[in-house]
Structure 1
Amino acid sequence: MIPKAGRSFILLLIAALALLSGCSGPALTDYAERGPKLIPEQFFNGELTARGVVKGFSGEVIRTFDADISASWDSAGVGTLDEEFRFDDGEVQTRVWTLTPSDTADSYHADAGDVAEPGMLRWSGNTIHMNYVLQIAYGDGTLDVRMDDWMYLVTPDTLINQTTMSKWGVDVGELVLVIQRK
């Protein structure tokens, strides 16, 4: 028989686990039947433009930006997204993503020069999910920040991207942008 204090602890632990499991976000498969169907090789092909905002941990917009993206795929199915971001404070950043087919369907290994921990780009229905660690400039060095990307195709030529940025499991900011095919 479990002592009364032990039973209370077990009940408290079960309640906490139930609460935490209720806090989990959507699964990629939740979007399987949503349209228009997003096929990365089709949407990310050719010239694209983006406009967006960077929000701080309080939700306040701290920067705005626009970007040009040149996307292509080689004969082995490897994709390249060459991005140039121009921020409202004059900073310009470039990032070149390499998307390499993985062993499973509907996914790519995703890597770039300033990505400390590459991610997997997965898609289902009208949605892409990608989680990776990005090195961002901070002071005289860099800071590794976890990026949790969700992208939703809303028309054949328009994609909305929402990215939660976190450090040590704590949300520290957010990116929201619209990407359009030219």
Structure 2
Amino acid sequence: MKKLLVLLMVMMVSSCSTVDLKDYANTTPELKLEEFFNGKLVAYGIVVDRGGKMLRRFEVDLVADWQGNKGEIKEWFRFDDGEKSTRIWQLEKLADNEYQGQANDVVGIARGTTSGSALYWQYQLDIQVDGETYTVTLDDWMYLLDDKRLFNKTDMSKFGFKVGEVVLYIEKLS
């Protein structure tokens, strides 16, 4: 009986569909990081736990600039509990649809690929919780709505288990 239960659980998990970046190949407008993330932007987001309960709200001011295939995005976060933080991304366009990036709290290198109006990033991030630092894996999806608006949905996991999610709306100001 125990083996049957384990087999059924494995089948249920493996039958769940996963998102494939190729599914967005024919969507428009086409997302090019060097075009959308250039100039001043503002973002509004929430952090939710693995059960969907909202934990925090935040706003972000962004200033982005590209020179050739190299980009920099400066982000200033303001959380609803008064916390403030800064992240500065150093990005590089490797090929037409391939990007990589580094930031002060990113462990190693973030790698991303675009297809149509979508981008998929995966990387590890150090986060502070109650004075402790935890490294979590981020599965980061961006969806371009039009030339001024983008949605970002990020699943956070630790040891392969989802621990939370970030949902973010980004708007280009200039």
Counterpart amino acid of 1:171? K
Which residue in 2 is equivalent to 1:92?
A: 84
Question: Matches of residues 157-176 of structure 1 in structure 2 within 5 Å?
Answer: 157-176=148-167
Task: Provide the rounded CA distance (Å) in 1 between the counterparts of 2:162 and 2:5.
Answer: 26
What are the ranges of 5 or more consecutive residues in structure 2 without an aligned counterpart? Answer: none
Which residue in 2 is equivalent to 1:112?
A: 103
For the pair 1:39 / 2:63, whether they are aligned, the reply is no
Task: Provide the rounded CA distance (Å) in 2 between the counterparts of 1:42 and 1:160.
Answer: 16
Indicate the SS of the match to 1:101.
strand
Indicate the SS of the match to 2:152.
strand
Instruction: Answer 1 or 2: which has greater strand percent.
Output: 2
Question: Matches of residues 1-182 of structure 1 in structure 2 within 5 Å?
Answer: 19-75=12-68, 77-102=69-94, 104-182=95-173
Task: Provide the rounded CA distance (Å) in 2 between the counterparts of 1:85 and 1:20.
Answer: 36
Q: Which whole-Å deviations, capped at 9, do the CAs of 1:40-77 have from their partners, x for residues lacking one?
A: 111000000000111012211111011111011123x1
Task: Provide the rounded CA distance (Å) in 2 between the counterparts of 1:16 and 1:58.
Answer: 20
- Measured on the aligned residues, the alpha-carbon RMSD in Å equals 2.3
Which residue in 2 is equivalent to 1:6?
A: none
Task: Provide the rounded CA distance (Å) in 2 between the counterparts of 1:13 and 1:164.
Answer: 25
Which residue in 2 is equivalent to 1:8?
A: none
Counterpart amino acid of 2:75? E
Task: Provide the rounded CA distance (Å) in 2 between the counterparts of 1:105 and 1:16.
Answer: 40
Alignment: residue pair count: 173
Q: Which whole-Å deviations, capped at 9, do the CAs of 1:95-141 have from their partners, x for residues lacking one?
A: 01111233x43111111110113221210100011010000013333
Indicate the SS of the match to 1:119.
strand
Report percent identity of matched pairs. 41
Task: Provide the rounded CA distance (Å) in 2 between the counterparts of 1:99 and 1:173.
Answer: 25
Indicate the SS of the match to 2:52.
coil
TM-score with structure 1 setting the length: 0.86
Indicate the SS of the match to 2:60.
strand
TM-score with structure 2 setting the length: 0.90
For the pair shown, the structure with the greater C-alpha radius of gyration is 1
